[in-house]
Amino acid sequence: MADSVQTCPITPVVDLVFSRWTTPILWTLNEHGRQRFVELATHIGTITPKVLTQRLRQLERDGLVTRTYHPEVPPRVEYEITALGRSLAPLFHHLAAWGEDNLPKVDEARTDYDGR
């Protein structure tokens, strides 16, 4: 990993934050606050329960999400973004703005390229 950090210092961050389901989970928790599992799955859409469970466990391990168990009947579990996870919000908002400004240009470039 040391070599990849020297070559590109953002590689470990990209690997941590931009895996297939990590970004939508963190975005949803940041935008909508504390969520129960089903609420989170509903906001994200196409994620399977197994994959959501795996990603949430990894995010909890990484310190980006907290899991709170409420010993009620029936039991209630809630997930919330941590301060560390919330520190990524400006990055996510900046990327969203970049996409809004530039994805049409990317589509245009692709159309031009494919038309050659």
Per-residue pLDDT of 55-91, as tens digits, reads: 999 999 999 999 999 999 988 999 999 999 999 999 9
**Per-residue confidence band for 44, with pLDDT thresholds at 50, 70 and 90:** very high
Position 18 scores a pLDDT of 85
Position 24 scores a pLDDT of 93
How many domains is the chain partitioned into structurally? 1
Position 20 scores a pLDDT of 85
Written as six digits, the tokens of 31 are 């935008």
CATH number of the domain enclosing 18: 1.10.10.10
Amino acid at 112: D
Between 8 and 79, residue with greater pLDDT: 79
| pTM of structure | 0.81
Which domain covers residue 8, as residue numbers? 2-114
8-27 b/e (C-beta count within 10 Å ≥ 16 → b): eeeeeeeeebeeebbebbbb
End-to-end CA distance of the chain: 40
User: At residue 1, does pLDDT exceed 70?
Assistant: no
